[in-house]
């Protein structure tokens, strides 16, 4: 995006803005091979029933967002929904039927009611809630409804506990969904956070929210311009660029307490766009300590500054490979308009990754250290930034967003199956998520303008 380089250019007097073939989808999702799961609206007894809307919505959305399942439409479900395993009847032996006669149906009480058309599910999530001793208790089961007997069908059976309010209902639903996802070999996003920048208070500050957009809260309170967050691998620190002291500088806050942690900013007109190394012991960032924005590394307290890049071009947005810790991608104007490059941590073996067309920025490594997401102005809707993913070794890439506003600042979810990004598709700058094949778009923010998300464990 054109604003990536704006502050660097302001201090250098240069107006810059921060050869592959199109390939198949780089991130392979299960697609049509995903198991079908039925997730009926579950019920609660007594004081638990008013909380079930929050529970059911959370459970369904978590499973849908995982990208692991084909969600069976609820209009296909039988009228009766089991609440516990004894509600099922053992399937009777096959009965001879006349030509054209419909098979026997138990109205939801037999496993085959869920595995056969029109439901045609592979799995069924069911259970019930109650408030006991001022604690919300959810009894949850996951059944493989393709099994012959009820005793063989159970995949998961567990109790979950929460406070007797909407927050407790959402908590138990998140935990049940996480266990179901784990049974399928997936990784739940429960406990992960998305840090982002919002101007909803009148100043750009760092905020944080859950991956479904809930529990949005403010982290920084400098009443200034705080932008471009990065989160340490252990999730304990957030580093960002702040103008609170005049020139852009690196600030670090504790994510638990919000307390500012010590970081010495070298004398420079700009220290910005930080990123943590995989061990959390160093920061990489762009600095004008040498007179022009270049890539530097320093200890987590700002000591031991070391220059990595050395060109006459502006260079920003370093992102360290999370798998190796030995190489990084960054944005540079060394070949003209901003492009994405890769180099070793010592500055050697510099390679351009984007092919020189248009402008490319906002690189972000996939957790596997082999793929990156980035924003690019080439391809469909040329001239506007869209989200792409690229296999770094082969340079093969795929475009994920098409012709729906401006789309920038991609960040990978820790499971590597989803991305958060900024988009103007709804009319203003907001945070969205999508699966890594570009499907299942969901808007997370609405208040003010919001951007530069970072998805952290």
Tens-digit pLDDT profile for residues 425-445: 999 999 999 999 999 999 999
Least confident window among 104-118, 275-289, 383-397: 104-118
pLDDT by residue (tens digit) across 196-229? 999 999 999 999 999 999 999 999 999 999 999 9
Give Cβ neighbours of residue 150 (< 8 Å, ≥ 6 apart).
Answer: 85, 88, 89, 90, 111
pLDDT tier, 22 (very low <50, low <70, confident <90, very high otherwise): very low
SS3 at position 62:
helix
Confidence band, pLDDT 50/70/90 cuts, at residue 20 = very low
Query: For residue 106, is pLDDT > 70?
Result: no
Looking at residue 107, its pLDDT comes to 76
Distance CA 436, CA 205 (A): 28
Query: Rounded to an integer, what distance in angstroms lies between the CA atom of residue 186 and that of residue 168?
Result: 24
Over residues 364-401, the pLDDT tens digits come to 999 999 999 999 998 666 678 999 999 999 999 999 99
Query: Beta-strand (E) ranges in 215-305?
Result: 217-218, 226-231, 237-242, 249-254, 260-261, 271-276, 282-287, 294-299
C-alpha to C-alpha distance for 449 and 163, rounded to whole angstroms: 33
Write down the pLDDT at residue 8: 57
End-to-end Cα, the chain, rounded Å: 26
249 pLDDT higher than 90? yes
Helix (H) or strand (E) holding 348: none
Q: Is residue 172 pLDDT above 90, yes or no? A: yes
Predicted confidence (pLDDT) per residue in 335-375, tens digit: 999 999 999 999 999 999 999 999 999 999 999 999 999 99
- Strand 217-218 versus strand 205-209 pairing type: antiparallel
pLDDT of res. 30: 47
Rg of the chain, C-alpha, whole Å = 25
- Rounded (10°) angle between helices 52-65 and 166-183: 30
Dihedrals φ, ψ of 328, to 5°? -145, 160
Give the C-alpha distances (Å, rounded to integers) separating 305 from 295, 309, 366. 10, 13, 27
Query: Across the strands, what pairs with 194?
Result: 209, 455
Domains in the chain with CATH codes: 6-28+189-456 (2.120.10.30), 36-91+109-183 (3.40.50.10070)
Return all residues near 313 (Cβ < 8 A) that are at least 6 apart. 16, 292, 332, 333, 334
Q: For the chain, what percent of residues have pLDDT higher than 70? A: 89
Confidence of residue 24 (pLDDT cuts 50, 70, 90): very low
Give 313-332 pLDDT, tens digit per residue: 999 999 999 999 999 999 99
Q: Which of helix, strand or coil describes residue 249?
A: strand
Nearest Cα residue to 273 out of 14, 16, 2, 18: 18
pLDDT at 403: 82
Query: Across the chain, what does the average pLDDT equal?
Result: 90
Summarize the confidence of residues 270-274 as an average pLDDT. 97
Q: Which residue has the tokens 């990754």?
A: 353
For residue range 36-60, what is the model confidence (pLDDT) as tens digits? 999 999 999 999 999 999 999 999 9
């Amino acid at each position: 995006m054109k604003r990536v380089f704006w502050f660097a250019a302001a201090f250098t007097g240069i107006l810059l803005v921060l050869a592959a073939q199109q390939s198949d989808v780089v991130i392979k999702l299960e697609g049509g091979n995903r198991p079908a799961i039925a997730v009926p609206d579950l019920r609660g007894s007594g004081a638990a029933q008013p909380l079930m809307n929050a529970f059911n919505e959370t459970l369904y959305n978590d499973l849908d967002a995982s990208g692991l399942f084909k969600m069976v439409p609820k209009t296909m479900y039988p009228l009766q929904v089991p609440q516990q395993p004894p509600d099922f009847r053992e399937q009777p032996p096959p009965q001879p039927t006349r030509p054209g006669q419909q098979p026997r149906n138990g109205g939801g009480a037999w496993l085959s009611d869920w595995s056969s058309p029109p439901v045609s599910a592979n799995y069924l999530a069911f259970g019930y809630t109650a408030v006991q001793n001022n604690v919300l208790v959810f009894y949850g089961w996951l059944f493989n409804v393709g099994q012959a007997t009820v005793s063989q069908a159970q995949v998961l059976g567990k109790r979950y506990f929460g406070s007797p309010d909407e927050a407790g209902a959402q908590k138990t639903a998140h935990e049940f969904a996480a266990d179901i996802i784990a049974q399928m070999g997936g990784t739940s996003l429960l406990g992960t956070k998305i840090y982002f920048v919002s101007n909803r208070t009148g100043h750009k500050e760092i905020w944080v929210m859950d991956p479904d957009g809930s529990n949005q809260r403010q982290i920084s309170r400098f009443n200034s311009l705080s932008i471009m967050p990065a989160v340490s691998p252990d999730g304990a620190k957030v580093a960002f660029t702040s103008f609170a002291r005049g020139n852009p500088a690196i600030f670090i806050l504790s994510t638990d307490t919000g307390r500012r942690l010590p970081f010495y900013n070298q004398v420079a007109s700009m220290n910005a766009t930080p990123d943590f190394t995989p061990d959390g012991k160093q920061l990489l960032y762009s600095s004008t300590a040498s007179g022009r924005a270049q890539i530097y590394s320093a200890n987590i307290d700002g000591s031991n500054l070391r220059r990595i890049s050395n060109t006459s071009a502006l260079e920003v947005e370093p992102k360290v490979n999370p798998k190796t810790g030995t190489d990084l991608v960054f944005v540079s104007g060394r070949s003209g308009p901003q492009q994405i490059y890769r180099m070793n941590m010592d500055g050697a073996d510099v390679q351009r990754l984007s092919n020189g067309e248009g402008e490319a920025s906002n690189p972000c490594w996939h957790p596997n250290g082999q793929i990156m997401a980035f924003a690019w102005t080439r391809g469909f809707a040329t001239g506007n930034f869209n989200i792409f993913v690229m296999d770094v070794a082969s340079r093969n890439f795929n475009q994920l967003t098409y012709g729906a506003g401006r789309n920038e600042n991609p960040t990978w979810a820790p499971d590597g199956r989803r991305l958060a990004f900024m988009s103007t598709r709804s009319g203003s700058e907001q945070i969205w998520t999508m699966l890594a094949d570009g499907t299942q778009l969901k808007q997370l923010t609405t208040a003010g303008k919001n951007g530069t998300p970072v998805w952290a464990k």
